[in-house]
Amino acid sequence: MILDTNNLITKKTILITGASGFLGFYLSLELATEFNLVGLYCRAPIEKLNFIQWQSSNLLETGEIRPLLNSIGKIDMIINLAAYASIDFCEKFPALSRRLNTLAAQEMANYCEEKEILFLQISSDLVFSGADAAYTEDDFCHPLNRYAQQKCEIENYLSDKKQSFVSRLPLLYGFGLNHSNFLPILLSKIKNNETVEAFVDEFRTPLSGMSAAAGLSEQIRALLAGKSSVLAAKILHFAGKESISRYQLAKKICEEFALNPKNVIPTKLKNHNLAKLRPADVSLDASLAQQLLNFNPPTIAQELKILKSQQL
* Residuewise pLDDT in 10s, the chain (312 residues): 344 444 345 889 999 999 989 999 999 999 999 999 999 988 777 778 889 899 888 999 999 999 999 999 999 999 999 999 999 999 999 999 999 999 999 999 999 999 999 999 999 999 999 999 999 999 999 999 999 999 999 999 999 999 999 999 999 999 876 666 789 888 989 989 899 899 999 999 999 999 999 999 999 999 999 999 999 999 999 999 999 999 999 999 999 999 988 999 999 988 888 778 999 999 999 999 999 999 999 999 999 999 999 875
For residue 55, what is the domain's CATH number?
A: 3.40.50.720
Is position 252 within any domain?
no
Which residues span the domain enclosing 138?
13-175+207-241+284-298
In 3D, which of 153, 150, 146 has the Cα closest to residue 277? 146
Is position 127 within any domain?
yes
Which pairing describes strands 118-124 and 36-41: parallel, antiparallel, or unpaired?
unpaired
The pair phi, psi for residue 141, each rounded to 5°, is -85, 140
Is position 226 within any domain?
yes
Is position 217 within any domain?
yes
Q: What's residue 177's pLDDT? A: 67
Three-state SS string over the chain comes to CCCCHHHCCCCCEEEEECCCCHHHHHHHHHHCCCCEEEEEECCCCCCCCCCCEEEECCCCCHHHHHHHHHHHCCCCEEEECCCCCCHHHHHHCHHHHHHHHHHHHHHHHHHHHHHCCEEEEEEEHHHCCCCCCCECCCCCCCCCCHHHHHHHHHHHHHCCCCCEEEEEECCEECCCCCCCCHHHHHHHHHHCCCCEEEECCCEECCEEHHHHHHHHHHHHHHHHCCCHHHHHCCEEECCCCCCEEHHHHHHHHHHHCCCCHHHEEEECHHHCCCCCCCCCECCECCHHHHHHHCCCCCCHHHHHHHHHHHHC
Alpha-carbon distances of 1 from 4, 5, 7, 8, rounded to whole Å: 10, 12, 14, 14
| Domain count along the chain | 1
Is position 278 within any domain?
no
Q: What's residue 275's pLDDT? A: 78
Is position 17 within any domain?
yes
Is position 7 within any domain?
no
Do residues 206 and 170 lie in contact, with contact meaning Cβ atoms separated by under 8 Å? yes
Is position 121 within any domain?
yes
Q: What's residue 5's pLDDT? A: 41
Q: What's residue 9's pLDDT? A: 57
